Amino acid sequence: MLISVPSGITEVEERAVIDAGLQAGARKVYLMEEPMAAAMGAGLPIEEASGRMIVDIGGGTTDIAVISMSGIVRSASLKTAGDSFDDAIIKYVRKKHSILIGERTAEELKLNIGCVYPPNDSVSVDVKGRCLLTGLPKLFTISTEEMLEAFDDVCMQILDAIYHVLENTPPELVADVSENGITLTGGGSLLKGMDKLIRARTNIPAQVAENPVSCVAKGMGKALQQLGEMQDGTINLFRRKQLQ
């Protein structure tokens, strides 16, 4: 059994995932860090010596990694990701409009008019929520500009983590990354303007992978075919390599 995990999980967490796999009936459990799986799924030539950066923005975690020679050189995992954007909308609407909206409405807003980089055209939509003052249903209008404002903090947290990984990456590999660009995967990378934002703030070309939501699953499928090459036991090959 091959299970993907966020990069940088603790040994205790690792053990818990392995135990869950064993209890589910697997004879051997292999773990694979999600950014590695995402890179494989995105079709990056991970075995090359040249450094590449992958930013996987999922629902619960964002995984950032610099990959070279089939190993993760530097990585970070933060619990700020797609769902954090939904929370940011809820908070914003509560504060600015004094209206309470649910998680589903917030996600719909994110998908329909959400953006993280100034768009060419502005859109507004009418939304229903519950007025915090009267407790009654209330209709209000929200615009793309407001989305930008609401997302500011969350974007900054993701950008800071990217800066941090770049700062800690050996200079030659940073040079490679700036040439090869940053590949974005995960559903959160589909948020409008995400590639533009990362490009603008890092000066590094960034592009969303093809079918970003299924990259990790696709990469795991590829890795599963190479399971024979993986180390016997329960520890994944890539992590081992990094420790040696």
Ligand X SMILES: Nc1ncnc2c1ncn2[C@@H]1O[C@H](COP(=O)(O)OP(=O)(O)OP(=O)(O)O)[C@@H](O)[C@H]1O
How many residues contact ligand X, by CB under 6 A?
A: 16
State the minimum distance, in angstroms, from the CB of residue 13 to ligand X.
Answer: 13
| Strand ranges inside the chain, DSSP E | 2-5, 30-33, 52-57, 62-68, 71-78, 99-100, 124-131, 137-143, 182-185, 206-208
**Residue in this structure with the two tokens 């519950």, named with its chain if needed:** 130
User: What SS3 state is found at 47?
Assistant: coil
For ligand X, which is the closer residue by CB, 187 or 221? 187
Tell me if 27 sits within 8 A of 2, measured CB to CB: no
Min. distance of Cβ 83 from ligand X in angstroms? 5
Burial (CB count within 10 angstroms: exposed 0-12, middle 13-18, buried 19+), residue 1? middle
Binding mask 89-128 for ligand X (x = CB under 6 A): ------------------x--xx-----------------
Contacts to ligand X from residues 210-229, by CB under 6 A: 213
The nearest distance, CB 87 to ligand X, in angstroms, is 10
Among 51, 129, 188, 193, binds ligand X (CB under 6 A): 188
Residues that bind Mg ion (CB under 5 A): 58, 216
> Residue 99's beta-bridge partner residues?
131
Site for ligand X in 8-27 (CB under 6 A): none
CB of 58 vs ligand X, minimal distance in Å: 2
